[in-house]
C-alpha cells in the first residue's frame, strides 16, 4: 500500500506500529527519532561487566495475555523459569512478594513481626483506594489524601495502646511504603495521584521477570525484522502541521529541528507524555483541540530513577530480595522531604537485590522518585556515591561499608523523555485516557480522517506506564490505519 506514514519516536510503541503496518503491506513507512538509538525508555547499560537496566526493568505480568512476554518467548529471550506454567499462573495483583530485610536509620535490623502491623494497615487502605475508579467517584481527592486520613484514623484506634517509640517507627514504615508507591506510580507524591482514576490500572497474571541479556535485546530483535533504513536517527521533530487543505498536497507535514520536512497521509505521534506536556504549544499546528490539551495536562508524568550500587560482598541475608530502609524519626505521614539539598536521599525507599548472584554478583538497585530524584540527577556521580555510602553505613551501623561502583539513571533531564512514565493525576478520569488516544481530526469533521494518531504508554486505558501497554498502543494505531484502508480500498492515496 502506498499511503505515506510517518512515525514520530522509535521507542517500543513506534517500533510496534511500524512492524504491524509493514506486515500488512504498507511500504511507505518512516520513523523519525530524535536520538541516535532505538528503544527510548527501554535502555540497557553496564555496571562494570554487569548488564543493568537504566529504564524498564521487568515484564509486568509475564503470561499469555502479555504481548511483551509472547515476543520475548518467540525470540528465546527468557530464562526457563519465566516460561513455566506455574510462573505464568502466579497472580499477585502486580505486587510481587519479595523476601525483605529491614533496616532502621538507627542502625538496627527490624523483624518481619515488627513490620507486619504497618504493612497490613497500609495494604488494606491502598486496596480501598483502587475501588473508587469503578464507582466513578472522588475525582478531586488524591490517593495521598485518602491514605493519610484513613491511616491516621485507623492508627488512632488500633495503635492506641502502643508506646510512642513503636508508633513513630510504624509511621516511618508507612512513609517508606508511600515512598515505594511514589516509585511504582512514577510520581513525586501520592498527593498528585487522582483517587477517582487510581484503580484504572490493571495487572496481568505472572511473576514479573527480567531479560537475562537485557531488555534492549527485545528491541534489537524487533528492529532486525524492519526494513533497513526505515529509521532516520538524530531527527527531532519540531512541529506536526496537519489539516493542510491545499490541493494536491498531503494533509500532514512533519517538520524537523534541522528544517527538513516530510509530507505524509498519516503521522503516528509516540513521544513521551513528559515531552508532550513541555512542548505542547509548539508541537502541533493547528494546536490540538482543547479537550485533548486538558487531558494531557490532567494526566500525570513524574520521575522514578535508579541508583545501582555494587559491593564486594553482601551485607544482606542470603535469599534477601529487597532491602527496606525505615527512618525511625518520622512522626508525620509524608512522602516528600522538607529540604531537598540536605536530605534528598531520604526519599530512597530501599534497594532491590539483582538475582541470580552468579550473574550479577553483589549489585543492588536503589529506587527514588519525585523531585528528590530529579535533584539527584544534578549531582555528580561522586556526590551520589558519597551520599549513598553514608546512607548504607548509617542503616547498617557498619562504618567500613564502601561501594565498588555506582551508576544512576537521569530520566528527568533526558530532553526527549522529561521524566519516567505516566500516572493518572488529580481530576483525571477514564475519559482523559480516551481523549489521549483519539486521532485527529476529531469525529464529525469533514477533513481527511486519521491525519494524526497517538500511541505510547500514556495512551493505554489500563496498561499505561508499561512496556506491554506501549506495544499494544502501537499495534492499536497501526490497526486503525489498516482497517481504514481495508474498508476504503478504492481511495488508497498514491505516494507523491
Q: Which residues bind ligand 6YU (CB under 6 A)?
A: 8-14, 32-35, 40-42, 55-58, 60, 94, 184-185, 201, 236-237, 270-272, 275, 304, 306, 409, 411, 416-417, 420-421, 456-457, 465-468, 470
CB 413 within 8 A of CB 377: yes
Considering the complex, what minimum distance in angstroms separates the CB of residue 313 from ligand 6YU?
26
Considering the complex, what minimum distance in angstroms separates the CB of residue 450 from ligand 6YU?
20
How far is residue 349's CA from residue 335's CA, in Å, rounded to a whole number?
10
C-beta closer to ligand 6YU: residue 1 or 186:
186
Cis peptide before 185 (omega within 30 of 0): no
Considering the complex, what minimum distance in angstroms separates the CB of residue 156 from ligand 6YU?
27
Considering the complex, what minimum distance in angstroms separates the CB of residue 72 from ligand 6YU?
12
Considering the complex, what minimum distance in angstroms separates the CB of residue 31 from ligand 6YU?
9
Q: Which residues pair with 142 in a beta bridge?
A: 194
CB 163 within 8 A of CB 324: no
Helix (H, G, I), strand (E, B) or coil at 119: helix
Between the two ends of the chain, the Cα-to-Cα distance in Å is: 13
How far is residue 347's CA from residue 176's CA, in Å, rounded to a whole number?
8
- Please identify the residue of the shown chain whose CB is closest to the bound ligand 6YU: 11
Sheet of strand 452-454, all strands in order from the earlier edge strand to the far edge: 231-232, 29-32, 5-8, 266-269, 452-454
C-beta closer to ligand 6YU: residue 173 or 218:
218
C-beta closer to ligand 6YU: residue 275 or 485:
275
φ, ψ of residue 453 to 5 degrees: the values are -115, 155
C-beta closer to ligand 6YU: residue 246 or 258:
258
- Written as nine digits, the cell of 43 is 535502555
Pick from 363, 368, 398, 399: which is nearest to 384 by CA? 368
Integer CA distances (angstroms), 261 to 74, 254, 257, in order: 37, 6, 9
Cis peptide before 76 (omega within 30 of 0): no
DSSP-derived pairing of the beta strands 452-454 and 266-269:
parallel
Considering the complex, what minimum distance in angstroms separates the CB of residue 315 from ligand 6YU?
23
Considering the complex, what minimum distance in angstroms separates the CB of residue 98 from ligand 6YU?
14
C-beta closer to ligand 6YU: residue 47 or 401:
47
C-beta closer to ligand 6YU: residue 155 or 200:
200
How far is residue 287's CA from residue 293's CA, in Å, rounded to a whole number?
9
C-beta closer to ligand 6YU: residue 155 or 273:
273
Q: Following DSSP, what letter does each residue of 392-413 receive, concatenated?
A: HHHHHT-TT---SEEEE---TT
Residue 255 makes CB contacts below 8 A (sequence gap 6+) with 237, 238, 239, 240, 241, 261
Considering the complex, what minimum distance in angstroms separates the CB of residue 129 from ligand 6YU?
9
Residues 155/157/163/167 CA torsion (nearest 10 deg): 0
Considering the complex, what minimum distance in angstroms separates the CB of residue 57 from ligand 6YU?
3
Considering the complex, what minimum distance in angstroms separates the CB of residue 10 from ligand 6YU?
5
Considering the complex, what minimum distance in angstroms separates the CB of residue 41 from ligand 6YU?
3
How far is residue 132's CA from residue 113's CA, in Å, rounded to a whole number?
31
The full 3-state SS of 131-184, as one line of letters, equals CHHHHCCCCCCEHHHHHHHHHHHHHHHHCCCCCHHHHHHHHHHHHHHHHHHHHH
CB 178 within 8 A of CB 144: yes
C-beta closer to ligand 6YU: residue 2 or 479:
479
Amino acid at each position: 500500500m502506498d499511503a505515506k506514514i510517518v512515525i514520530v519516536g522509535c521507542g517500543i510503541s513506534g517500533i510496534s506500529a511500524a512492524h504491524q503496518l509493514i506486515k500488512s503491506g504498507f511500504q511507505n513507512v518512516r520513523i523519525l527519532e530524535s536520538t541516535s538509538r532505538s528503544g527510548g525508555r527501554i535502555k540497557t547499560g553496564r555496571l562494570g561487566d554487569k548488564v543493568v537496566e537504566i529504564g524498564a526493568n521487568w515484564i509486568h505480568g509475564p503470561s499469555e495475555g502479555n504481548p511483551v512476554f509472547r515476543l520475548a518467548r518467540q525470540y528465546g529471550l527468557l530464562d526457563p523459569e519465566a516460561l513455566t506454567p506455574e510462573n505464568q499462573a502466579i497472580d499477585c495483583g502486580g505486587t510481587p512478594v519479595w523476601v525483605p530485610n529491614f533496616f532502621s536509620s538507627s542502625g538496627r535490623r527490624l523483624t518481619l513481626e515488627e513490620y507486619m502491623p504497618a504493612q497490613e494497615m497500609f495494604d488494606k487502605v491502598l486496596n480501598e483506594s483502587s475501588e473508587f475508579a469503578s464507582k466513578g467517584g472522588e475525582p478531586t481527592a488524591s490517593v495521598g489524601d485518602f491514605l493519610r486520613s484513613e491511616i491516621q484514623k485507623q492508627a488512632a484506634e488500633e495503635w492506641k495502646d502502643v508506646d510512642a517509640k513503636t508508633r513513630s517507627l510504624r509511621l516511618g514504615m508507612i512513609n517508606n511504603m508511600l515512598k515505594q508507591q511514589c516509585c511504582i506510580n512514577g510520581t513525586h507524591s501520592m498527593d498528585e495521584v487522582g483517587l477517582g482514576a487510581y484503580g484504572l490500572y490493571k495487572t496481568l497474571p505472572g511473576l514479573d521477570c527480567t531479560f537475562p541479556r537485557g531488555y534492549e535485546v527485545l528491541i534489537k530483535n524487533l528492529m532486525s525484522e524492519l526494513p533497513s533504513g526505515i529509521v532516520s536517527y538524530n531527527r527531532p521533530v519540531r512541529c506536526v502541521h496537519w489539516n493542510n487543505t491545499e490541493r494536491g498536497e498531503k494533509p500532514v507535514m512533519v517538520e524537523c529541528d534541522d528544517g527538513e520536512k516530510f509530507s505524509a497521509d498519516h503521522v503516528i505521534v509516540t513521544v513521551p507524555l513528559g515531552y508532550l506536556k513541555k512542548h505542547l504549544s509548539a508541537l502541533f499546528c493547528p494546536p490540538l483541540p482543547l479537550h485533548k490539551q486538558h487531558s494531557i495536562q490532567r494526566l500525570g508524568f513524574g520521575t522514578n530513577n535508579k541508583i545501582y550500587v555494587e559491593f564486594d560482598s553482601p551485607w544482606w541475608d542470603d535469599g534477601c530480595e529487597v532491602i527496606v530502609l525505615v527512618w525511625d524519626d518520622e512522626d508525620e505521614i509524608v512522602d516528600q522531604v522538607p529540604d531537598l539539598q540536605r536530605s534528598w536521599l531520604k526519599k530512597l525507599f530501599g534497594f532491590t537485590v539483582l538475582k541470580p548472584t552468579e550473574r550479577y554478583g553483589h549489585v543492588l538497585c536503589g529506587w527514588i522518585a519525585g523531585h528528590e530524584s530529579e535533584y539527584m540527577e544534578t549531582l555528580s556521580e561522586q556526590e551520589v556515591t558519597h551520599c549513598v555510602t553514608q546512607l548504607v553505613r548509617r542503616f547498617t551501623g557498619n562504618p567500613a561499608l564502601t561501594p565498588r561502583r555506582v551508576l544512576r539513571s537521569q530520566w528527568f533531564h533526558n530532553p526527549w523523555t522529561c521524566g519516567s512514565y505516566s500516572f493518572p493525576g488529580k481530576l483525571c478520569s477514564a475519559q482523559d485516557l480516551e481523549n489521549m488516544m483519539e486521532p485527529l481530526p476529531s469525529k464529525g469533521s469533514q477533513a481527511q480522517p486519521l491525519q494524526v494518531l497517538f500511541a505510547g504508554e500514556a495512551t493505554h486505558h489500563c496498561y499505561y506506564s508499561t512496556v506491554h501497554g506501549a506495544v499494544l498502543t502501537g499495534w492499536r494505531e497501526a490497526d486503525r490505519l489498516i482497517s481504514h484502508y481495508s474498508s476504503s480500498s478504492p481511495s488508497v492515496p498514491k505516494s507523491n
